[in-house]
A and B are shown apart, each in its own frame.
Chain A
Amino acid sequence: MFIDIHVHPAFYEPINTDPEMEELRHNTLDIHKNGTASLEHIFNQMHCAGLDYQCLLPEDYNTRQNGRVLVGNQEIRKLVNMAPDKFIGFAGVDVYDAKACEKLEEAFTDFNLSGLKLHPGHQHFYPSDEAARPLYKICEKYDKPIIFHSGFSWEPDTLTKYCRPDIFEELAATHPKLRICLAHFGWPWCRETAMLMLKYPNVYTDTGALYFDCAQEFYLQMLTKDVPLTWIDRSLRHQVMFGSNNPRFEQIRMAQAIEKMGFRDGTLDLIRGQNAIDFLGGLPEGGRS
């Protein structure tokens, strides 16, 4: 079982029928010259990477974008419906949207999405802010995990001060049953992420970072030096999930690189799949979202 927990479908053809929205997506994410991708191409890419499933993450910054939702919950549901044997869908809401709670309830009940994705750096909130707390309660009510962007963000209009791993400690400590993923290993503050995972078993991370060098070189630095391999292989092996952050980064080469780090086979199996299944609370039945 191999799952990519962190994929952005912003440029998938079925949800790119409006050129103006496509342009907004390029500019908001600062990803260019990539065009749009047919699902057939996405499936080929998954096949080359050896992936069974990938989690599709929405992006809702509508209070900062004149009410326009960059990639919405309905679009995620639409994509999952087109390939329920390959896609797992997450919900997204803007924390400052007056209807955020209502939208999240709808995403979990009507759209049956598998978790919540938030980007504090882009949505400009601290994880312990009052505005976000009702959303955490809803996730606890439905036993759904949250993926937070953490660490550096390439996207324009993002502030790192909202994404440092250590500011998630209060949330982790006060909501021990809420599973949270500090995505991108909190890079470059990977040791802060490791510290939180060591103390809080409800804290996970993913490997969606490739800011320098090639996949193998960057992973060797991040997963064997910044955080020594033995820390992950011995102590954090149940909390690290494979994530590519595709299309920003290279899913196929990252999938190949993770195998070459020197983890025990058992650890690799956890990173490649089982940890994501545990984080999700199991693979959704009858279509995986």
Chain B
Amino acid sequence: MLYMESILLLTKKYNEYTIITPQIRDIVPKSGIENGMVTVITKHTTTGVTVNEALECLESDIEVFLGRLIPEDYPYSHARMLKDYGSTAGNPTGHLKSLVAGNHCHFPVVDGEIIMGGAQDVYFCEFDGPAHRTINVIIQGGE
């Protein structure tokens, strides 16, 4: 059995970290699935889905770390006109930060509840905002 629902976000900043744990917790019971797995996966290639502790200091450290690892001022090959878009690709850092952050996460569902560690939260990471974004939440398992 499989159940899917989407979370829609309108991000406001170039780089932005949004906790989406409450939305995921709301979706899981709607699936009717008692035991299985939940997958949270972004539909985009310049965003990330990652799990970490929801602390302001860590959000800052993650942003600074990614900025140091993947600086804006670097001669990326992706900085060019893309013919099938008809527009300039100015978002190589978004693609590379997405690579580091990953695009999905999984959690077990037991007795209809998502099982997460006490310090764990799910972040949606915007690396090329502002933008309209979609994250799919997929629950697979049995009743």
Binding site for B on A (CB under 8 A): 29-35, 37-38, 40-41, 44-45, 47-48, 154, 210-217, 247-250, 252-253
Q: Are A41 and B87 in contact (CB under 8 A)?
A: no
Q: Are A41 and B84 in contact (CB under 8 A)?
A: no
A36 closest partner in B (C-beta):
B132
Q: Are B12 and A47 in contact (CB under 8 A)?
A: yes
Q: Could you tell me the distance between the alpha carbons of A212 and B79 in the complex, rounded to whole angstroms? A: 7
Q: Could you tell me the distance between the alpha carbons of A250 and B72 in the complex, rounded to whole angstroms? A: 14
- If A212-B81, A249-B87, A250-B90 are given as contacts, then 16 extra A-B residue pairs at C-beta distance below 8 Å, sorted by A number, are A31-B85, A31-B87, A37-B132, A41-B131, A44-B11, A44-B129, A48-B129, A154-B81, A210-B88, A213-B80, A214-B90, A215-B90, A217-B79, A247-B87, A248-B86, A250-B88
Chain B residues with Cβ below 8 Å from A154 are 81, 86
Q: Are A35 and B87 in contact (CB under 8 A)?
A: no
Chain A residues with Cβ below 8 Å from B80 are 212-213
Interface size class of B (residues with CB under 8 A): 20 to 34
Q: List 18 A-B contacts (CB under 8 A).
A: A31-B86, A32-B85, A33-B85, A37-B132, A41-B10, A41-B130, A41-B132, A44-B11, A48-B12, A48-B13, A48-B130, A154-B86, A214-B76, A214-B88, A215-B88, A248-B87, A250-B87, A252-B14
Q: Could you tell me the distance between the alpha carbons of A210 and B86 in the complex, rounded to whole angstroms? A: 12
Q: Could you tell me the distance between the alpha carbons of A257 and B85 in the complex, rounded to whole angstroms? A: 22
Q: How many A-B residue pairs have CB under 8 A?
A: 63
Q: Are A32 and B86 in contact (CB under 8 A)?
A: yes
Chain A residues with Cβ below 8 Å from B10 are 38, 40-41, 44
Q: Are A45 and B130 in contact (CB under 8 A)?
A: yes
Whether B26 is near chain A, meaning CB under 8 Å from some CB there, is no
Chain A residues with Cβ below 8 Å from B14 are 48, 252
4 closest pairs, A vs B, by CB?
Answer: A214-B79, A44-B130, A30-B86, A31-B86
